[in-house]
Structure 1
Amino acid sequence: MGEEYIYQNIISMRIGIVVNIDTVTLLPYLTEPADKELVNKYCSPNGAPAVNTLILSFLKHGHFLRIFTNAKKTFNIKTPQVEIYAIETYNKYPIKYLWGGFITAERLKNLMCDKLDDLDTLHAHWTYEYAYAASFYEKKLPVFCTIRDYAAYIWKIESWKNKISRIFKQIMNDVVIKHKHMHFIANSPYTAHIAKNIYKKDIPIIPNSIKDSFIKQGEHIYPKEFTLVCISSSNDKRKNIISLLKAFKLFRHKHQIGTLQLIGSPFIAEDSLIKRWKEKELLDNVELIGRLPHNDIISYLDNCSIFITPSLEETFGNTLLESIVRKVPTIGGINSGAVPYVLHHGEAGFLCDVSKPECIFQTIEDLFLNPKKAKEKAEKGYKIIISEYSESIVCQKHIDLYKTYL
């Protein structure tokens, strides 16, 4: 295993990361124009800010990273502090939606085989192809896996068409979880509870972190027009956007004001589901923003009145952290997995039954009619979140855990 070495007066570790990362976030650590061009051209965005933030915090605190990921095309980049080994994702239809994950995992496994000897640890994220590939080396060095979703729940709520592809992910998840020498991490008590009840594993909890650049320093200035923001990387039953739209329609009907902005890759006018929403008159004063670069989200949060996550289930919910540290009043589901934990059971945000549009409407209306109440809760939530979920705190928790197995 790699020896610890001194970097900027701190003890640094050599960490392998196996995950789909937005490699463009690593541009500040690349100096060669050719390397930057590769990253910009072949990056395969992952929509997972929690992982990107963790990786950047490792680099920020002087640790060496060797990242094994996937991209639109295979490429390698080496710098003194970070190395990127990207393999082309298997994309042949329809195999990619079936056992394509196993093919990608095999490519990742082969990619890593001669690149681990000088590392202290290897850390995979999610219990699918990345963890499956890493599991082959669990006797070579300490291998960690952060459980970031509940595979069985997702399969349960998927459409019959998507269930077919999810079966293969479920198989991969079950194989990974059974590995006795892999060290698992839960990103919330909700995830840890699932691991204990379903997988019979007691595992430590390390929450997601919030980027320092997202933390607002001044006061949140509320817009003149009442504006709600919702961010989601998918548009399935679990994300429950339809209930939010129905609640917003009730609000508009009663108060005749307000705008709802939907941010994320699914929210484009050409999408078939969006077209059906329009036919049902659910898009009155709804702005479809679509996918944004992660840092661009800040301007939308800074110009909204309320942030809301109507998800029926989340194993964490990073968008909640992001809205709270911008001092925006935040609403989430009282029965939505880890959401109550992130919102400190109502101390850092507002909880309601998001399965019922009427309850969402009533909560939105309450904050609309009581702006002082909304602002006070937002200020309290801000103090709580920055004290527990900052980059440096969560980064150090990972380092401390790694060291217990060295």
Structure 2
Amino acid sequence: MEWENRPASLPETNAFPLTSHLVNALLRRGYDVVVYTNSNSIPEPIVLHDTHLTVCVSLEMKQPGRRFYKQEIEGLKQHILAYPADIISAFWTYEYAWAALRSGLPTVVSVHDVAYKILLKQFDVFRFVRFLMNEIVVRKTKHLVANSAYTYSILPAWIRKKTTIINNFYPEHLPDLLPETIVKGNYIVSVVQGFTKRKGIPLALKAFAKLRQQHPKLEYHLIGINYEENGLAHAYAKKHNLAEGVRFLGCMTSDELFKHVAGAKVMLHPSEEESFGMAVLEAMVAGTVVVGGKKSGFIPKLLDYGKAGILCDIRSAAAISEAAHRLLADASLRDSYERHARRFAAQHFSEDVIVEQHLNYYNNVLGKTHQPTIAPEAKAQNNVIAKASMVANVLGYTFL
């Protein structure tokens, strides 16, 4: 997030990029913001202050799911009551939202996944606990925001009645990271968090093996959790003789990742389902054409139904390989997709477009219009903001 004076004592917390993007967007627009999050690396709760930003960090204990996050919820609630805001935006329908609702303050809960669908695909104790927490939260809350039309469409009808759709967005600084001339490397890329069947990487590796027969010097770069060298994905690739030409790069900073994606000729996004698809959106902004699933949740809409990228049957290694080959063999085709994708992303998913929707919705919930603490142009003239780490999961907006 953006701090005028970043404290050295900022601990590791549960981080989610979209939360930090929204915090930064509100700060740039002159609002005071309170962040409520937690950490398992501190001995006691802490509160960090900046001129217009307060970060409250409560404790996260070991194996919180066994206790239904009882202590975490209580700690978050106490911080919310001690440092209240006019309205709280809680990301995800789990412990953060539950704590915000228990505080009694006006709360908007964001739905970024559908718990029962995840439980069906990954049935274990942890997911079952999360499913039960989700059921409690969606029943208690009055105001829900779905992060896409797809997420909204698979919610039960009684939940949709109190849900509005506000898409995810990319931060305004993202295009500024790109050089004037982007030099494409001889590689394709996937950005994935977690090596599971629903992410589709095993099939993508098989598709790449086929693709490399036509493009023998091409590399496939895998980025994200479980995709480091000698990690889970690498072990799978070696076991099935699919590691040749594949580089396992693991995690990167968000800026490094964006630049690396910008240097790729094609992004493969073989996920079976996406409630939104931030990796795809960032590739669109970066000018890298995407191959995604024609039935993969929100991906068809995000790729403008095939105008901003190629949609195929991502359950077929042959279909993925054929789509990628079409793009690799035709630079003008890639350029056409990339130009449309950038325009489409800017028109529908930019910070300016989406943050305005958030602010209008918060005003509707509160029944009144609030102005920023200071004028945005005055904030900009200060020119003393520096980026800091992502730490937020529950936001409180203070309108003075």
Q: TM-score range by the shorter chain?
A: 0.7 to 0.9
- Map 1:70-109; keep pairs closer than 5 Å: 70-71=38-39, 72-73=41-42, 74-91=45-62, 95-99=63-67, 101-109=69-77
Which residue is equivalent to 2:12? Answer: 43
How far residue 218 of structure 1 moved from its aligned partner, in angstroms, is 6.0
Q: Does the CA contact (< 8 Å) of 2:114 and 2:155 recur in 1?
A: no
Q: Which has the higher contact order (CA 8 A, sep 6+)?
A: 2
Q: How do 1:383-398 and structure 2 match up within 5 A?
A: 383-398=343-358
Structure-1 separation of matches of 2:135 and 2:107: 17
Give the total of aligned pairs: 362
Aligned residues with identical type, % of pairs: 24
Q: Once the 2 structures are TM-superposed, how far is the Cα of residue 192 of structure 1 from its aligned partner?
A: 0.9
Q: Unaligned stretches of 5+ in structure 2?
A: 367-400
Letter in 1 for 2:12: C
* Counterpart check, 1:300 vs 2:276: no
Aligned counterparts of 1:131 and 1:175: Cα–Cα separation in 2: 10
Aligned to 1:184: 144
SS at match of 2:244: coil
2:37 is aligned, of 49, 69, 79, to 69
Q: Does 1:235 align with 2:195?
A: yes
Name the residue aligned to 2:95: 129
Distance in 1 of aligned mates of 2:66 and 2:299: 31
Structure 1 residues not aligned, in runs of 5+: 1-25
Distance, in Å, in 2 between the alignment partners of 1:218 and 1:386 is: 18
- 8 A Cα contact 1:195 1:203, kept in partner: no
Pair 1:100–1:289, CA change in 2 (3 A): farther
Q: How does 1:349-360 map to 2 (within 5 A)?
A: 349-360=309-320
CA distance in 1, matches of 2:272, 2:161: 25
RMSD (Å), alpha carbons: 1.9
Equivalent of 2:271 in 298, 311, 314: 311
1:206 aligns with 2:166: yes
Equivalent position to 1:143, from 107, 114, 121 = 107
TM-score normalised by structure 2 residue count: 0.86
- Structure 2: which amino acid aligns with 1:135? L
Q: Which residue of 2 aligns with 1:329?
A: 289
Matched residue type, 1:145: V
Q: Is the 1:69–1:87 contact (alpha carbons within 8 Å) kept by the matching residues of 2? A: yes
Residue 272 of structure 1 and its aligned partner are, at CA, apart by 4.2
Residue among 164, 167, 185 paired with 2:125: 164
CA distance in 2, matches of 1:207, 1:224: 31
Report if aligned partners of 2:189, 2:220 keep a CA contact under 8 Å in 1: yes
CA contact (8 A) 2:46 2:57 kept: yes
- Contact 2:119–2:127 (Cα < 8 Å) also in 1: yes
Of 282, 287, 292, 2:247 maps to 287
AA partner of residue 141 (structure 1): L
CA distance in 2, matches of 1:258, 1:75: 49
